[in-house]
Amino acid sequence: MTAIWDEAGNTNQQTYRRLLESMSRPGRVVNIQPPDEGNGYAAALAIGRCLLDHEVSMGAAGSNVILGIQDRLVEETRVRVAAHEAADYLFVDNQGIDKGISLAKRGRLDAPETAATLVCFLSENPAVEPDRLRVRLTGPGIAPPQGIMPEMPGIALATFKALADANADYPLGVDAFFVRATGDLMALPRSTRISVR
C-alpha cells in the first residue's frame, strides 16, 4: 500500500512541476510523461489527479471520452461536479472547447483567483491546423518585445481568439492548459496576451 501511495505521490509531484513549468513559460511545450495506462487519456487523467480533490469542482464538455474522464476523476479524487459556469476546472476536448471558454467563470476583481482553469485535451490528428505564424503571445514569461508564436500545433485560430476575448480584462480571465495523449503540454495563463493577425 505504501509503494502505491509513494508512486502516486511521485507522479503527482512530477506532474505538478511540469504544470508550473508550463505556466512559467507560456506558449512553450513541456512533457508530463504520463504513466502508461493502456489508453490515450493518461495525460489528462494525470493532470486531473494532480489538481483535483474534494474541495474543488469540475465540469466537462465535449465527446464521450471527456465525460468518461470526468467520471473517472470523480471516482478517484472525489471532486465535486458543477455546472460549467460554476466549475473551478473545466475538462474539454476539441468538440467542447468553444463551449468551455464561453462558459468558464472569469473570477471577480476582488478575487481573480476564483477564475476557472481549462484543461483542453487535443486529438492527435486535428481536423483544423491553423497557421501558427498568425498568433503572437506576449506577457510574463515571454521574451519581449516581439513575443513568440505558440509551439503546440492543432489549436484553431478561433480558439486563440476566444481566449484573447476571455482574457481581455486581466486580471479576470481563464487559465488554459492544452494537452495531448503523448503528454505534450502547453499553458496559456490569463496574463498572456494573445494577438491573432
Pairing of strands 89-93, 117-121: parallel
Whole-number Å distance between alpha carbons of 31 and 155:
17
Q: pLDDT for 46-70, tens place per residue?
A: 999 999 999 999 999 998 889 999 9
pLDDT, mean over the chain: 88
**Residue 135 β-bridge partners:** 196
* More confident call, 131 vs 29: 29
Alpha carbon separation from 78 to 70, 72, 148 (Å, rounded): 11, 10, 38
Q: How far apart are alpha carbons 32 and 16 in whole angstroms?
A: 9
Global confidence as pTM: 0.90
Give the side-chain half-sphere CA count within 13 A for 132. 13
Residue 146 confidence (pLDDT): 84
Range of the domain at 39: 2-196
Domain count, the chain: 1
Q: Are the CB atoms for 42 and 76 separated by under 8 Å? A: no
Residue 48: CATH number of its domain: 3.40.50.11310
Tell me, what's the pLDDT at 9?
55
For the cut 50, the answer to whether the pLDDT of residue 1 exceeds it is no
**Locate cell 485560430: which residue?**
157
| Identity of residue 133 | L
Q: Which long-range contacts (CB under 8 A, 24 or more apart) does 5-14 make?
A: 8/49, 11/35, 11/46, 11/49, 12/46, 12/49, 12/50
Residue 94: is its pLDDT beyond 90? no
Query: Could you report the per-residue pLDDT of 95-137, keeping only the tens digit for each?
Result: 899 889 999 999 999 999 999 999 999 877 655 565 677 899 9
- Predicted local confidence at residue 5, as pLDDT: 35
Residue 114's SS3 state is helix
Specify the DSSP class assigned to residue 111: B
